[in-house]
């Protein structure tokens, strides 16, 4: 991997400028699901999830774990199988139905009285509840608070102009002592318009830093043909753990 002076970690805040006005609408996300343009979905789950699961759980049982912008992430099934309660939110009903069907999980569907137009899909066993609506319609009075978060393809998928709003909402959903695993991506944002969007470490610190301790756990080279086709010459995933302090 040939890295220039502007390589991972070396990008300045102004380098995110090309992406700041980019907007992906909910309709565009729905269309990606309809057309099968879901290259972001990891069929085998995410390698960093398995590696750092202990950092999320910290030896605790029976946790409530939140999956923002969940898609049909396999990690929801894994955590439910371990006895945790999983709550997700996703605009695509197709994604949520595919999740239950692909794992042969029986589920029921109900309206959410507090959120006009929203539905909740719940496993019959009761420990997976997936809201079909925009995340911006959720609040702790509807979904409660969480002991843990798996944020992969979520903060980095949110439109840059909504990033502060997203983080402010996430902070209101955290229990004291919550652990938040956050996967971001690093690449040259002048070469790809996103999503995923490039969110530099300095911005992670300014968005969350007043509320939690932040530690970078790993930077993983994830460069593939997909990224080469986007015009990139490097692509990293960067994993942070955010520890909300009591």
Ligand X SMILES: C[S@@+](CC[C@H](N)C(=O)[O-])C[C@H]1O[C@@H](n2cnc3c(N)ncnc32)[C@H](O)[C@@H]1O
Judged by the rule CB under 6 A, the positions of this chain that interact with ligand X are 26, 29, 40-41, 69-71, 73, 89-92, 95, 134-136, 152-154, 157
CB 246 to ligand X: min, Å: 28
Q: Which residues pair with 242 in a beta bridge?
A: 180, 214
Query: Is 64 or 152 the residue whose CB approaches ligand X more closely?
Result: 152
Number of helices and strands in the chain (H, E): 8, 9
Q: Which residues of 11-34 are buried (b: 16+ CB within 10 A; e: fewer)?
A: beeeebebbeeeeeeeeebeebbe
Give me the least distance between CB of 92 and ligand X, in Å please: 4
Q: Which is nearer to ligand X, 16 or 76 (CB)?
A: 76
Q: How far, in Å, CA of 240 to CA of 238, rounded? A: 7
Say whether 102 sits in a helix, a strand or coil: helix
Q: Which is nearer to ligand X, 6 or 165 (CB)?
A: 165
Q: How far is the CB of 75 from ligand X (least distance, A)?
A: 8
CB of 239 to ligand X, least distance (A): 13
Which residue lies nearer to ligand X by CB, 7 or 227?
227
- The DSSP call for residue 79 is H
What's the closest the beta carbon of residue 72 comes to ligand X, in angstroms? 7
Q: How far is the CB of 97 from ligand X (least distance, A)?
A: 13
Provide the CA 173 distance to its chain's centre, in angstroms.
14
Tell me how far apart the alpha carbons of residues 222 and 147 are, in angstroms, rounded to a whole number. Answer: 28
Which CB atom, from 7 or from 105, has the smaller least distance to ligand X?
105
Q: How far is Cα 212 from Cα 182, in angstroms, rounded to an integer?
A: 13
For 225, the 3-state DSSP assignment is helix
Residue 161 or 177: the one with the smaller Cβ distance to ligand X is 161
Would you say 7 or 41 has its CB closer to ligand X? 41
Contact status, residue 137 vs residue 120, Cβ threshold 8 Å: no
CB of 17 to ligand X, least distance (A): 22
H helices within the chain, ranges in order?
26-35, 47-57, 75-81, 93-102, 140-143, 163-172, 201-208, 225-229
């Amino acid at each position: 991997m040939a890295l220039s002076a502007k390589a991972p970690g070396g990008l300045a805040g102004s380098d995110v400028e090309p992406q700041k006005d980019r907007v992906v609408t909910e309709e565009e996300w729905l269309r990606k699901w309809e057309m099968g343009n879901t290259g972001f979905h990891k069929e085998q789950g995410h390698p960093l999830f398995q590696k750092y699961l202990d950092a999320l759980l910290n030896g605790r049982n029976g946790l409530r774990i939140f999956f923002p912008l969940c898609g049909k992430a396999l990690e929801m099934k894994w955590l439910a199988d371990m006895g945790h309660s999983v709550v997700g939110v996703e605009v695509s009903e197709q994604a949520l139905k595919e999740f239950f069907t692909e794992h042969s999980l029986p589920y029921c569907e109900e309206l959410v009285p507090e959120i006009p137009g929203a539905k909740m899909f719940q496993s019959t066993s009761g420990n997976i509840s997936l809201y079909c609506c925009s995340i911006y319609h959720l609040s702790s009075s509807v979904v409660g608070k969480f002991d843990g978060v798996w944020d992969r393809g979520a903060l980095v998928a949110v439109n840059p102009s909504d990033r502060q709003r997203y983080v402010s909402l996430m902070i209101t959903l955290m229990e004291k002592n919550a652990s938040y695993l956050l996967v971001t991506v690093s690449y040259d944002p002048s070469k790809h318009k996103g999503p995923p969007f490039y969110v530099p470490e300095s911005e992670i610190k300014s968005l969350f830093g007043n509320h939690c301790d932040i530690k970078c756990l790993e930077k993983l080279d994830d460069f593939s043909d997909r990224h080469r086709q986007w015009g990139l010459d490097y692509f990293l995933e960067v994993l942070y753990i955010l520890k909300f302090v009591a």
